Structure 1
Amino acid sequence: MIHIITGSTLGGAEYVGDHLSDLLIEKGFETSIHNQPSLSEIEASGTWLIITSTHGAGEYPDNIQPFIAAIQNTPPKMNDVKFAVIAIGDSSYDTFCAAGKHAYDLLKDIGATPVADCVTIDVLSHDVPEDAAEEWLNQHINCF
């Protein structure tokens, strides 16, 4: 099972999540999308694919903040979890993709196994973040 966990303010990360879910299903994978993620509803097994934008001064979008806080406050046993993080941001800000980079470090620190380095998508270079995410997925599909 691939849990697609999105952190989105304006919907961009959700669009990327939906697109990658469709591609993964076409390849025979089972996915579950969590646009309002709750740690109690996501198994600490399989693969977590976190797709998040960065809001404000390097903060997580509102919808994913409780999920991240729960992981920080009571880290689940993560040795059965593989993960990847797609961070979406605007490189004109000094907090470019800070939320995604933090999520990557957090999951790694609590024992989850990364399947790839944190990928950053700059909206200044990619008008359609789904295209950049699809390119990344095609290069890493064997990791899932």
Structure 2
Amino acid sequence: MAIIKLLTGSVYGTAEAVATEVKVALEQGGHTVIKAEGLEAVLRDGADAVLVCTSTTGQGDLPDNLQPLYRELKERFPLLGHLAYGIIALGDSSYGETYCGGGKQMDELLAELTAKRIADPLMIDACETASPEEVAVPWAVEWARQL
């Protein structure tokens, strides 16, 4: 089973709640899931994968609690070819081009850092889905099966 670092970007707590449900499901499947904050936490302990669960704020931006990691990754630019990754992005399609912008930013950056994307990012639209964890949990279980 895999060691997965779980990164969460949340403004009002929805992405955090989804990440908690995903963590429970992945642990029930035998994976080790560690919520991580900061680059050093992501890189230590021999993780196999990174799973990002983030909402979007402002004009398609990452939430404040995920921005420091994003900036540190951009500045230090550590190559992450040894890590697989997945993205769960929460957004609202009524915002047009900025829909799920936080998740898209993380996807783009992790790809630049040579991490290996496992499955297309999951984009959860608040206009269509009242309970995002009901979509995120099965997606995450399938994503982890591919590790």
- What TM-score comes out, normalization by structure 1 length? 0.93
Would you say the 8 A contact 2:25–2:141 is kept in 1?
no
> For 2:76, which of 34, 50, 74 is the aligned residue?
74
Distance 1:16 1:136 in 2: 12
- Counterpart of 1:140 in structure 2 is 143
Would you say the 8 A contact 1:51–1:86 is kept in 2?
yes
The runs of 5 or more residues in structure 2 that have no matched partner are none
Deviations 1:68-104 (A, max 9, x none): 0000111112011100001100010021001101110
TM-aligned CA deviation for residue 4 of structure 1: 0.7
2:94 match: secondary structure: coil
Structure 1's consecutive aligned runs of 4 or more residues displaced over 6 angstroms after TM superposition are none
Distance 1:132 1:33 in 2: 20
Distance 1:30 1:70 in 2: 25
Q: Which stretch of structure 1 is more off in the superposition, 105-114 or 38-47?
A: 38-47
Pairing of 1:91-110 with structure 2 (within 5 A): 91-94=93-96, 95-110=98-113
- Counterpart of 1:126 in structure 2 is 129
- The question of 1:39 aligning with 2:39 is answered yes
Deviations 1:93-138 (A, max 9, x none): 0210011011101101110000111110001111011001013124
Would you say the 8 A contact 2:27–2:33 is kept in 1?
yes
The residue type paired with residue 13 of structure 2 is G
Distance 1:62 1:53 in 2: 10
Would you say the 8 A contact 2:52–2:87 is kept in 1?
yes
- Counterpart of 1:113 in structure 2 is 116
Would you say the 8 A contact 1:53–1:97 is kept in 2?
yes
Pairing of 1:57-72 with structure 2 (within 5 A): 57-72=59-74
Give the aligned length: 142
The residue type paired with residue 118 of structure 2 is V
Distance 1:82 1:138 in 2: 15
TM-aligned CA deviation for residue 140 of structure 1: 2.7
The runs of 5 or more residues in structure 1 that have no matched partner are none
